[in-house]
Structure 1
Amino acid sequence: MEEALRPPGTFLGRLQPLTRERLLAVGVRRSVKEAQVVIREGALESYVVLLDEALVKVTVALSDGRHALLAIRVSGDIVGEISALNGTPRTATVTACRPSVIHIIHRQAFRAFLRDYPEAALEVAGIVADRLRWANRRRTDFTSYPVRIRLARVLWELAVAYGRRTPRGVVVDIRLTQDELATLCGAAEISLQKALGGLRADGIIETGYREIVVRDGEALRSIADLD
């Protein structure tokens, strides 16, 4: 797999080449289909999932039966590390957004790897800290900014991390429903629809079947009020 497909912020992207090769050798390589559940919320399981060539979404069940989208994870990321390390039930469901290749690494093997490669253990701690920081910032966004700005921030992050540049603009085709996008923005679906409509009317984005095209990235970044 090409290194460019493992972004620097992901777990694999943070590791030195030899350490990365050793980790890939530890796990069992598996192919999964689109919409296949990789980790199920509440399950008592003891393995880590390393995303080799993959795109997945992380969701949690709500009391009203809906599912809230917490995050998107890509090639190079790990998921399920907390439950694997402390033996607690899974706190979220992880589902493949497209046909993907993953590595299943069982708890004992993962712990042994971290003992043998302390720099990798530090990177796991760093990833957990980054995710906590991201969650805290997102909660601040929910209380401090209107839906239009929150939506612009989420779309900007998705476009930068997962977008494909095309003649039409930057295409984000990770097949998110409006309900999932609304929960990621911390907004009611009707409020999200209004904000999406405003961005479309301004010519900043286009929307299609589970696809968003960012046509004017600078305008989107300006609305997002990012430094």
Structure 2
Amino acid sequence: MAAGLPKTNKTVCEAPNSWFLNCLSPEERSQLHALMQHRAYERGETIFSQGDIISGYWVLGQGKVQLIHRTSDGHKQTVELLRDGDWFGEDGFAQASASSVSAQTLAESVIGWLSLADMQDLLRRSQALALEFMRRLSHEVSKLRVRLVELAHLGTRERLIKLLLELGEKYGFKNEHGLVIDIKLTEQDLADMLGNTRVWICRQVSMLRDRGLIAYRRGQLVILDEEKLREFAPPPRKRRAIFSFWRDLAKMCKALYTLSVNKFIDRGGDSTYTGLGGDCQCCKSQRVSGTSGSVGGRF
């Protein structure tokens, strides 16, 4: 069954923080709400599943939603956490297509759905909305590039700390204890977001708690000191400097070795060379005859 066909249980879905709605005039917003189908979801409900055909667009008016991707071997990866005003369903933006993720509620949520045809008609009529859509999509592409770079150059601890700070910025509010992340997150949830194991996450979270950087209060994660947490993540390049030194040294040794072989060949040695650490034919003949040359029997 195609996704994008939720129950038509009418519920007001204003989404005051939505960039999408803020681009529309009062008249266009009124037309949009008339076209939208709305539904109230319980916590833990699936909005659509990975592989479902997406034929529309969703707006999260109230609540929390997570987007999940499952790999072919069954591993779960949390792709994104959404808050009030966020839109999702980009797989069906241009045409109806299979979703690459599943969407599931993390709390009681109110979600509106707009059909693909109505969405495209709205974009044709509103130049401001079309431009904002292009800007948002460009921003998402930039975010994906940054994530790829982080996967290549940041250690797992740095990525965990960066994730906690991002969650604090997106879902946090400050009180007398610190920055409270207003969403219940288990160690398994954090592991799913980072693509790591729960055991490793538990170890790292315990270490951060012991150092007084984070805490759990009433099931919510609290960042006790943002600045110290930022400083605790070591610069990614410093830790890799030693590895880079030895790697460059190995390259230099290999280049010098190759240069010495080439010079030997230029001086009359047999050009048949079997590779790094291999033997020249002349060396093999020397070993057979029992003689030794100036270069020796083996490079």
TM-score scaled by structure 1?
Answer: 0.86
What letter is aligned with 1:199? L
Q: Which residue of 2 aligns with 1:151?
A: 160
What does residue range 23-62 of structure 1 map to in structure 2 within 5 Å? 23-62=32-71
Pairing 1:188–2:212 present: no
Supply the distance in 2 between the matched residues of 1:198 and 1:182 (Cα, whole angstroms). Answer: 16
- Give the CA deviation at 1:187: 3.0
Judged with a 3 Å threshold, the aligned counterparts in structure 2 of structure 1 residues 110 and 82 are, in CA distance, closer, same or farther, namely: same
Judged with a 3 Å threshold, the aligned counterparts in structure 2 of structure 1 residues 209 and 186 are, in CA distance, closer, same or farther, namely: farther
Supply the distance in 2 between the matched residues of 1:225 and 1:56 (Cα, whole angstroms). Answer: 32
Question: What secondary structure sits across from 1:85 in the alignment?
Answer: coil
Question: What secondary structure sits across from 1:86 in the alignment?
Answer: coil
Is this contact kept in 2: 1:12–1:77, CA < 8 A? no
Q: Which residue of 2 aligns with 1:116?
A: 125
What letter is aligned with 2:17? R
State the superposition RMSD in angstroms: 2.5
Question: What secondary structure sits across from 2:73 in the alignment?
Answer: coil
What letter is aligned with 1:205? I
Map Cα deviations across residues 18-52 of structure 1 (whole Å, 9 max, x no partner): 35554344312221111111121100131211111
Map Cα deviations across residues 179-219 of structure 1 (whole Å, 9 max, x no partner): 33123224333332222122111111013675311111222
Judged with a 3 Å threshold, the aligned counterparts in structure 2 of structure 1 residues 218 and 24 are, in CA distance, closer, same or farther, namely: farther
The percent of aligned pairs where both chains have the same amino acid is: 25
Question: What secondary structure sits across from 2:104 in the alignment?
Answer: strand
Judged with a 3 Å threshold, the aligned counterparts in structure 2 of structure 1 residues 190 and 59 are, in CA distance, closer, same or farther, namely: same
Supply the distance in 2 between the matched residues of 1:5 and 1:197 (Cα, whole angstroms). Answer: 38
Supply the distance in 2 between the matched residues of 1:144 and 1:20 (Cα, whole angstroms). Answer: 44
Aligned residues: 222
Judged with a 3 Å threshold, the aligned counterparts in structure 2 of structure 1 residues 41 and 196 are, in CA distance, closer, same or farther, namely: same
Pairing 1:6–2:17 present: yes
What does residue range 205-216 of structure 1 map to in structure 2 within 5 Å? 205-207=214-216, 211-216=220-225
Which structure dedicates a bigger proportion of its chain to strand? 1
Gaps of 5+ in 1: none
Larger relative contact order (Cα-Cα within 8 Å, sequence gap ≥ 6): 1
Q: Which residue of 1 aligns with 2:105?
A: 96
Supply the distance in 1 between the matched residues of 2:15 and 2:113 (Cα, whole angstroms). Answer: 22
Is this contact kept in 2: 1:68–1:180, CA < 8 A? no
